[in-house]
Structure 1
Amino acid sequence: MGNKKTTVLSGALVAAVTLVLSACGGGGGGATGEVAAPPSDPKGVSGEIKVLTQRTDLVQKGVMKAYAAEFNKIYPKVKVSFDGITDYEGEVKIRMNAKAYGDVLFIPGAVAKNDYPKFFAPLGTTAELSSKYRFSDKAEVDGKVYGIAQFGTANGFVYNKALWKKAGITAWPTTPQEFLAGLKAIKDKTGATPYYTNFKDGWPLVQWTANNGSVGCDANASNKLAGPVSPWKEGGELRAIDGLLYDIAKRGLSEKDPTTTNWETSKTLLAEGRIATMMLGSWSITQMRGAAVDAGLKADDIGFMPFPVQRGGKFCAAVVSDYQQAVSVYSENKPAARAWVDWFTEKSGFSEKEGVVSAVKSAPMPTTLKDFVDNDVTFFDRSEAGTAAVNDIDDAAEIGLNKPDYRQKLIDTARGAAKGSAEDFFADLNKRWDEAAKTAGS
């Protein structure tokens, strides 16, 4: 599914860094405060709603239409239409200059968190929703929640088990040094490319940010970035994360020419054992296994391993939110729109089919993460309560935790295509972050 890449980039955007929606200017200003409450009687809900989605593949293949047909078995008087948008972030940002931006939509990363009440109807209080759904703090403003996560994802390395085994490695590396040694063994013993950056497409580099929290097994790791804290100092989570990426490139363990990578091709390359490892969200497992089956290979050869750091002898995996589903403040059919959000989250089976983590707290982990469950990996939901403050600092520092640019420069520096050392690179990031932290939000 080529369009899955949009899901992940945008999900990460929502998870870590939200830019100011400058294009909206004086937009918004709808009937703020009117709650899009869950309807009590399905048969009493009627009207037409438009659902915006970045999953153009599911719209084109009729999958979303099939979901609507199931929805109509419970809500027969609601007509659901879909608008699949390839450039979701860019297009929806423009649409939000006016009032006609659909009834149900994913909150674009470009909308500042504090502006949610201008554009989206509250779905209930934090107290009401936090007991039922994961990630409610991500869309919380002043005690009200404005979005319910489409799903969650754990981060890690998707890898070719057969290739790692051929190199003599059958256990997950427990330290960055072991991980690097494993990649070198793959290069020396198999001739395959040990790690693939997907540098050219860019968005997979953002996936590294989602490991923040997994390194220290700290649910508040993201919130702790809100201040002059030098995030890339020795011992810091981002230093461990980006330091590993730097070392991979520095030691020649990634593709020879990162400017020629290709996301769609990478799935087949991994399945066929021509590349061994990629950093991605757990959403990618089903796609990689699908590529293996398409190539006539074993789906079971595709595995998923946690970031190579342990705490107390156990691995940790932060579970972060993908896009948040919201109801437009301008929707004329808020009950129908809310009915769709609740049904899609709880009853559609979408999360199970996609192999992702359900936003419903009571739901079990997906079978795609069976290896994590069987090996007692510690899961936790990463808090995003401090997202607005972190966003302000990141924006002022012009670093872009959610953009590929600084990691592309990191890789270029590591491989000698740009001047500088790791120490200088990380010192510059720390300086810019700390200076921005002193003025951001003031």
Structure 2
Amino acid sequence: MFPHHRRRRLLGLAAASTVLALTAACSGGSDDPPGDSTPDADATPSGAITVLTWRTDLVEDGTFDEYVTQFKAKYPDVTDVKIEGITDYEGEVKTRMNTDSYGDVLAIPGSVTPDQLGDFFEPLGDFDELSKEYRWIADKTFEGRSYGIPVVGNVQGIVYNTKVWEAAGVTDFPTTTQEFLADLQAIKDKGIKVAPLYTNYKDSWPLTQWDGARGAVTANPDYVNEMTQTDTPWTDESDSGVIDGLIYDVVAQGLTEADPTTTNWEQSKQLLGTGEVATMVLGSWAIPQMQAAAEAAGASADDIGYMPFPAQVDGKFHAVAGGDYNLGINVHSKNKVTARAWIDWFNHESGFSESQVGLSPMIDGTVPAALQDFVDEVELITMNPAPEGKESLFADIDTASGIVTTDPKYRQKIVDDARSGARTKQQVFDDLNAAWAEGRAEAGA
């Protein structure tokens, strides 16, 4: 059931602050070495940098201003740190990366494949050395060199409004997708104006958050790697099939917002907080945002809960833990010294992960007390990196297939088909598998 002590524990993930996520990225520069130079570890940070971030809310509420103030106090020769918030982060940064002007420090977009890292980002060090200090850097490593470091670790699951679920008579976390659908139907049957699940279709990027369940469904940390070895990763039993099948079913059964084309990400946070939306699939980074929105709307932060994806193996829930966006340095930056100083300061001295009650990216980082109880209830999985020499294989197949799982458009198509009935769920799987098989053939897998 949803015991009160459990709900308090999960909510504790965000209770310490209204910020839990990442930072980062920049453009601009100073009079430091040219873009093709390597940072001098002994040089003093100075001049100006620009940091790009998708967290526009943290720009607007002054959170980043405080970080900048602290950073400049430590490095008085730094004249300016410009924080640039970007709403469509993935889309706009991907476009800007066609030029040299995409910041000094930035979160590495998901569309950058491992073999492209060196084309766009400055290496931060050898993986073998950095991995003695940091977790979750394998995703942004290629041929032994790491290009990004996460600022905080998240767990993956589902944010929900506790009052709405309890009003519908739901007292247990659903353990299967069938139970989850039944619970959403129970919410709908209450007859109140509530969207049982909100897709955030229009802003689109939240649909990529469903990928967080890959590996958790079958408790398999090698699931993504194993996708490269099969022509049929979309089945009723596979992680991909269970995830995308649930998206199809929840839409086809009318358990989402009435018109997905009119969704709004910023508004959705308030809607969840006030109980007009019951559920959203998002990483734990979203909890404090939802709590802050609830309080701003006159509701209670205690109404926001967090549950694991509805799947169990051997009677136990599993959740993927990993780094949020990884911060990297623009390979063309003219101020790599200060850019690297920003990344190091943020990890070691800002207190960001601690204040956000997130998992520390540091190997020796402690688990926050509020998160410890969630860790005790749900077995955490860290996805295994690709084997050496195959770091880009998944991305190569993904791109060649035309699916591009990092692009939410393929899931928007699933939503469209579920609404219209243009394709059955099995036809969706068949088409995805056919495209994936073609991608594997083209990539030589």
The alignment's TM-score, normalised by the length of structure 2, stands at 0.84
User: Residue 120 of structure 1 aligns to which amino acid in structure 2?
Assistant: F
Identity of aligned residues (%): 46
- 2: CA distance, partners of 1:407 / 1:275: 20
Q: Is the Cα–Cα contact under 8 Å of residues 135 and 383 in structure 1 kept in the other structure?
A: no
Equivalent of 2:309 in 307, 319, 327: 307
Cα RMSD between the aligned structures?
A: 2.8
How far off is 1:369 after superposition? 4.2
The aligned residue for residue 77 of structure 1 is 77
How far off its partner does 1:422 sit? 1.1
Q: Is the 8 A contact 1:211 1:307 kept in 2?
A: yes
Q: Is the 8 A contact 2:233 2:240 kept in 1?
A: yes
1:410 aligns to what? 414
Q: State how far apart, in whole Å, the 2-side matches of 1:177 and 1:90 are.
A: 34
- Residue 181 of structure 1 corresponds to 182
Which residue of structure 1 aligns with residue 347 of structure 2? 345
Contact kept, 8 Å, 1:397 with 1:436, in 2: the verdict is yes
**In structure 2, the residue corresponding to 1:275 is in which secondary structure?**
coil
Residues 369 and 182 of structure 1: CA distance in aligned 2, closer, same or farther (over 3 Å) = farther
2:235 match: 233
- Among 439, 442, 445, the alignment partner of 1:439 is 442
2:200 pairs with 194, 198, 201, which one? 198
Does the C-alpha gap of structure 1 residues 48 and 118 become closer, same or farther in structure 2, counting only changes over 3 Å?
same
| Residues 1:287 and 2:289 are matched in the alignment | yes
1:260 corresponds, among 254, 258, 262, to 262
Residue of structure 1 in register with 2:396 after alignment: 392
**d(CA) in 1 for partners of 2:91 and 2:254?**
35
Letter of the 1:349 partner, please give it: G
Of stretches 279-288 and 105-114 in structure 1, the one that deviates more from structure 2 is: 105-114
Q: 2:427 aligns with which of 419, 424, 427?
A: 424
**Alignment match, 1:155:** 156
* CA deviation profile, 1:205-245 (whole Å, cap 9, x unmatched): 11111210111122222222223431102321101111122
> Residue 52 of structure 2 aligns with which residue?
52
**Which letter does structure 2 place at the counterpart of 1:421?**
T
SS for the counterpart of 1:121 is: coil
Residue number in structure 1 paired with 2:6: none
Asked if 1 retains the 8 angstrom alpha-carbon contact of 2:153 and 2:323, the reply is: yes
Distance apart, 1:164 and its partner CA: 1.2
Q: d(CA) in 1 for partners of 2:293 and 2:56?
A: 19
Q: Secondary structure at the match of 1:194?
A: coil
Task: Report what 1:65 is aligned to.
Answer: 65
Task: Identify unmatched segments of 5+ residues in structure 1.
Answer: 12-28
Distance 1:194 1:345, change over 3 A: same
Aligned mates of 2:284, 2:127 — CA distance in 1: 27
- Equivalent-residue separation in structure 2 for 1:221 and 1:215 (angstroms): 10
CA shift digits 1:353-391 (9 cap, x unpaired): 4454332233234566466235x2111222343552111
The runs of 5 or more residues in structure 2 that have no matched partner are 1-17, 26-33
1:410 Cα deviation (Å)? Answer: 1.8
Return closer, same or farther for 1:170/1:115 CA change in 2, 3 Å cut-off: same
Distance 1:94 1:253, change over 3 A: closer
What amino acid maps onto 2:67 in structure 1?
A: Y
Q: CA deviation at 1:441?
A: 6.0
Displacement of 1:420 after TM fit? 2.1
> In the aligned structure 2, how far is the partner of 1:92 from the partner of 1:261?
23
| Partner SS, residue 76 of structure 1 | coil
Residue identity in the other structure for 2:63: V
Moved more, 155-164 or 358-367: 358-367
Greater shift, 272-281 or 353-362, is seen at 353-362
The residue aligned with 1:15 is: none
TM-score by length of 1: 0.84
One-letter amino acid matched to 2:266: E
Shift of 1:346: 2.4
Counterpart Cα distance in 2 of 1:50 and 1:261 = 31
Contact 2:153 2:359 in 1 (8 A): yes
The number of equivalent residue pairs is 412
Q: Secondary structure at the match of 2:254?
A: coil
Q: Which amino acid aligns with 1:436?
A: G
**More off after superposition, 46-55 vs 302-311:** 46-55
| In 2, Cα distance between equivalents of 1:30 and 1:72 | 23
8 A Cα contact 2:159 2:304, kept in partner: yes
Match of residue 5 from structure 2: none
SS across alignment from 2:433: helix
Deviation at 1:117, TM superposition (A): 1.9
Q: Which amino acid aligns with 1:427?
A: D
Local SS of the residue matching 2:278: strand
Check the 8 A contact 1:52/1:83 in 2, yes or no: yes
